[in-house]
Amino acid sequence: MPRLALLACLLVLLPGCGRDPVPAPAEAMPAAAAVANDTPAGRRIEADVRTLADARMEGRFTGSAGYARAAEHVAARFAAIGLEPAGDDGGWQQRVPLLRASVERDGARLEVERGGRRIALRPFEQFLPLPDFAAPRSEATAPAVFVGQAIDAPELDHDDFRGVDLHGRIAVAFGGAPARFPGTQAAHYGSLRSKVEAVAARGAIALVLVHTAADEAGTPWARTRERGLQPAMRLRGDDGRAFDDGPPLRAMMVVSAAAADLVFADGPRTAAELADAARAGTAAPFALPGTLTLAARTRIDTLEGHNVVGRLPGRDPALAGESVVHTAHLDHLGPGADGEGIHHGALDNALGVAIMLEAAQALKHNGRAPRRSTVFAAVTGEEQGLLGATWLARRPPPAVGRPIANLNIDMPILTAPTRDIVAIGVEHSSLKGAVERAAAEVGVALSPDPFPEEATFVRSDQYAFVRSGVPALYLDAGVASANAGQDPRVAATWFLRNCYHRPCDNIELPIQYGDAARLARVSAAITRLVGDDDAPPQWNEGDVFGTRCATLRGDEE
């Protein structure tokens, strides 16, 4: 039975998770004062951003020549700072073996047979097949069962599977989680991976995820279809098959909101009524009449990616085998389609890599090394589903040692001056104390996650370490204005509406390099505190990520 890919890029299917901004007409950038960059740290960060976001890097797409050039730059910077190579075989690079899969336009089918009639949905217009990384052909015909949002959360007295049998059947579900779920549980149960695991564990052979109007208000169907037609990637295990690919399913489809009622045709309630009930937590599961048929074809090949990994050895021989791991993804989206231009990725995530490099500079040259080792990794494949970070967390080279904490930086939108930072996920572990002390030491305010509904903690590379049981943080830009005439929230909203994953994410943005240098100082300060502590960080007692996500770490495939 083929093992279906769990595509992180398709978290857009879940409300409030991985959501793109609604496309908007181009609008004027909020007024920005001239950006002063008059410190050595700020100038180093700017130089790295300019290099990594240069057209010569061709958008740093995973596996591309442009990405290789960017990796060479990072390795050279690691060497200049004075780090030790921590990749494979004593080098700077860690090989990340990949599978690449593309859904073929021919052969896609989603048919509803019910009440003596056959309803054939139009491929890519009304439904989107997801690629199967194990087999070029995938197919399933079976009765279907509606299972709400495919969640069983006993601690919240919620079970979308009560009273129904999924064995040998096709599960039909909406994305997201009930509105009453706290943010942590909503993030966990609302993830695509959790839904696939839940239906597969109950014997389902396939899954149909149905969009709602609310989903497509965040990410229009045209955008989802565009992504679905692009090649997707998965990690490749030693056996040549997809690594960490979740439980087995024969097929998986996504249905547009406009076609949702066709899936539920002749049923007791409309798709909109069922979606409202699911969000309210009151949707009762039921068997749909008739059968569904799903089919798709996938083109599969292999390629090689690389992480760039450096190490600052710990000074205490008893603790040097443990490591605080810094991550920032080096990849971006490459050239745009239809002459759109290069996706430079200045904020996403050349700036994050540059801040990580400055944190390495500070730790290497501004005092003693921490007792534990510190690892710095510019990882690949984040845009493809946290691939490089997952490989690093599951298959660390010997020089990395045992990760005991992860600090990740991804797309800090530093285009208006701030007086704070945000540490997403700080409430889940004892890392909170180190963050608070580090912020006080640097003299910067610490703000809570301004958009907890976006479930950011499960959407960037730190989640790869969380799933391996390692306490982690996502260090991000602040939201408190340091200038009465510039609002960081407004600036961030403008960027997300106009330049996120678009060519205008480039060096011409008014990047606040002083704020970036400050974030690097906080990152280094957290590392010193965690690296020197007698005990490694711990998950808070009863925390969902400590009790559930840590158990997702499987045996190496």
- Do residues 296 and 129 lie in contact, with contact meaning Cβ atoms separated by under 8 Å? yes
Give me the residues paired with residue 102 across strands.
299
Judging by DSSP bridges, how do beta strands 286-287 and 144-146 pair with one another?
antiparallel
Using DSSP's 3-state secondary structure scheme, residue 502 falls into: coil
* The two structure tokens encoding residue 179: 């509105």
For residues 88 and 72, give the distance between their C-alpha atoms in angstroms, rounded to a whole number.
Answer: 15
Q: Among residues 140, 200, 206, which one has the least CA distance to residue 172?
A: 206
Domain ranges across the chain: 33-99+302-551, 101-300
Strand ranges (DSSP E) for 367-499?
Answer: 373-379, 402-409, 420-424, 445-447, 472-477
pLDDT per position in the chain (557 positions), as tens?
Answer: 333 333 333 333 332 233 344 344 456 666 655 578 889 999 999 999 999 999 999 999 999 999 999 999 999 999 999 999 999 999 999 999 999 999 998 999 999 999 899 999 999 999 999 998 888 999 999 999 999 999 999 999 999 999 999 999 999 999 999 999 987 788 778 888 889 999 999 999 999 999 999 999 888 999 888 888 888 999 999 999 888 766 679 999 999 999 999 999 988 899 999 999 999 999 999 999 999 999 999 999 999 999 999 999 999 999 999 999 999 999 999 997 666 789 999 999 999 999 999 999 999 998 899 999 999 999 999 999 999 999 999 999 999 999 999 999 999 999 999 999 999 999 999 999 999 999 999 999 999 988 877 778 888 999 999 999 999 999 999 999 998 889 999 999 999 999 999 999 999 999 999 999 999 999 999 999 999 999 999 999 988 788 765 554 443 33
Sheet of strand 144-146, all strands in order from the earlier edge strand to the far edge: 127-129, 251-255, 206-210, 170-174, 144-146, 286-287
Coil, helix or strand at residue 375: strand
> How much helix, strand and coil, in percent to the nearest 5, is found in the chain?
35, 25, 40
Q: Residue 530 carries which side chain, given as an amino acid letter? A: V
Distance of alpha carbon 96 from alpha carbon 90, whole angstroms: 16
Give the global pTM.
0.87
Nearest to 94 by CA among 71, 60, 69: 71
Other CB atoms closer than 10 Å to residue 497's CB: what's the count?
Answer: 17
Class of domain 101-300: alpha beta
β strands within 383-542, DSSP E: 402-409, 420-424, 445-447, 472-477
CATH of 33-99+302-551, one of 3.40.630.10, 3.40.50.720, 1.10.10.60, 3.40.1190.20: 3.40.630.10
- Name the residue type at position 61: F
Residue 164 carries which side chain, given as an amino acid letter? V
Rounded CA separation 326/87 (Å) = 14
DSSP-derived 3-state class of residue 457: helix
CA–CA gap between residue 226 and residue 216 (Å, rounded): 14
In degrees to the nearest 10, what's the CA dihedral of 72, 74, 79, 83?
-140
Kindly report the number of other CB atoms within 10 A of residue 360's CB atom: 26
Residue that the structure tokens 């450096």 belong to: 310
| Of 464, 465, 476, 472, residue with least CA distance to 432 | 472
- If one counts every other C-beta atom within 10 angstroms of the C-beta of residue 159, the result is 14
E strand residue ranges, 117-159: 117-120, 127-129, 137-142, 144-146, 152-153, 158-159
- CA torsion 333-336-340-346 (nearest 10°) is 20
Q: Are strands 322-329 and 402-409 parallel, antiparallel or unpaired?
A: parallel
User: Which tokens in the block code for residue 538?
Assistant: 């711990």
Same fold, 33-99+302-551 and 101-300: no
CA distance 168 to 206: 9
